[in-house]
Amino acid sequence: MEITTGPPEVRVPVSAEATDTVGTAEAVLSKRTGATVRLADAEDLGGSDRSVVMRVRIAESPFELPRTVVVKHYGECPAEARSDPFAHEAASCQLTTALPPEARIGPELIAHDAAERLLVLEDLGRGSTLADVLFADDPRMAERALLAWARALGRLHSTTAGCEADFDALMRRLGARSWTDPVADDITRSVGELPELLSQTLGVDTPPRMVERLTGATELLESSRYRSFSPSDICPDNSLVTGSGVRFMDFEWGCVRDVAMDAAYLQYPFPSSWCSYALPDNLAESMLSTWRSEIVEVWPELDDDEVLMPRLFNAQLLWVWVSTWWFLPRTGETDRPIDLHMPSPRRSTALVDRWRHLRSDAEKADMADVAEFADRVVDALVDRFGAGALHLQPYPAFRTT
């Protein structure tokens, strides 16, 4: 059986060299405008093994185009992949580009070509990402950026409420027979597999009542009246801090899901990301309040704690569960950082922090069974990985206070 040890990711080989990408982008833009467009000064923006991403200058065009654009060129999607990241990103960008400019939270889609698997996007500039701000040394700027991030997320949810049929149509137009939230797939799998893993690696047995709680929580993954568009991967390095607010980038897994799944990302900061450190006391609550202030016009009942908090707790439970399935070191594995190439906390430390928060939230919600189970998991993690796992540091920006 294949064991997943991190968030879902499709590995797509890049089939085109950078020079081919520029030439393909020129052809796509020329077709889009009906006249010759020339590009110059290509700058590699990092990309991945799924795609080439670069900033290019519009060197020649008879029409008014931005001075620079970002080009993203995907390789072929493997036949065994559960969904196509190009289709997700193209459909997501079409959906968000259709929003009024003042409500737009991602880059404008300037042109795309499904056959060439290429997107031409608005260049959002060279500003700092949220990760840059969190790893700098200005706590006030970091706090403002996190609140702006929460506001942008709430605005996105409120402006794309009820968009599922539109997103589905866009995906089908791009050739996708169906689409899925990758986190939902992994959550479903983890509900069945994590109990055995906890038993094998930590000696913790999962009681039937806990499995019932999880099964009930997975109702969030089904249709509800609180579904909206989500970039899915809303990690700090995919969030650009601009003068007009936070803009989200990278919609390779954009989907429609219950807004509670994104709101819980505020409470257990970025549980699928390498960038998952502790927040100062009460900041998560302030972020949640900011998010709620944006969505109450669409869903006024979510301003009622009796409506929102049970849904939010279920989402938090699912995030803790699936991130434990992703990151818990298997038997024989070392307790390494979440990402070996980034300044990440150790896996055990991040997981202890999440289970401790879950224990506290369960106690507040009068869920003694969940609190007791979380307490056992925390003790087992500390027994295996040492007392150092008890201390998750705050983000560097908050270590100076």
Note the pTM of the prediction, 2 decimals: 0.91
Contact in structure between 360 and 40 (CB atoms under 8 Å): no
Closest CA to 93 of 16, 188, 170, 204: 170
- pLDDT at residue 10, as a whole number: 39
Please tell me the predicted confidence (pLDDT) of residue 142.
96
| Burial profile 91-106: b = 16 or more Cβ within 10 angstroms, e = fewer | bbbbbbbebeeeebbb
Which tens digits make up the pLDDT trace of 314-344? 999 999 999 999 999 988 888 999 988 888 9
Low-confidence residues of the chain, pLDDT below 50? 1-16
* Segment holding 111, helix H or strand E: strand 109-113
Query: 147: burial class by Cβ within 10 Å (0-12, 13-18, 19+)?
Result: middle
- Tell me which DSSP letter residue 28 carries: H
Q: What is the pLDDT of residue 308?
A: 96
Q: Where are the alpha helices (DSSP H) in 235-367?
A: 259-267, 283-295, 305-327, 347-364
Complete domains list, the chain, with CATH: 18-122 (3.30.200.20), 130-398 (3.90.1200.10)
pLDDT, residue 168, reads: 94
The two structure tokens encoding residue 286: 């302030």
Q: What is the pLDDT of residue 390?
A: 86
pLDDT tens, position by position, 218-257:
999 988 899 999 998 889 999 999 888 899 998 999 999 9
Torsion angles phi and psi, residue 85, rounded to 5: -60, -30
Contact (CB, 8 A) for 237 and 129: yes
User: Is the distance from CB of 70 to CB of 1 less than 8 angstroms?
Assistant: no
Distance (Å, whole) CA 119 – CA 111: 6
Query: Quick one: pLDDT at residue 46?
Result: 76
The sheet with strand 38-44 has its strands ordered as: 38-44, 51-60, 68-74, 118-122, 109-113
* Rounded Cα gap, residues 106 and 115, in angstroms: 23
The Cα–Cα gap between 88 and 51 comes to 14
Residues 219, 61: Cα–Cα separation, whole Å: 51
At 121, phi and psi to the nearest 5? Answer: -120, 155
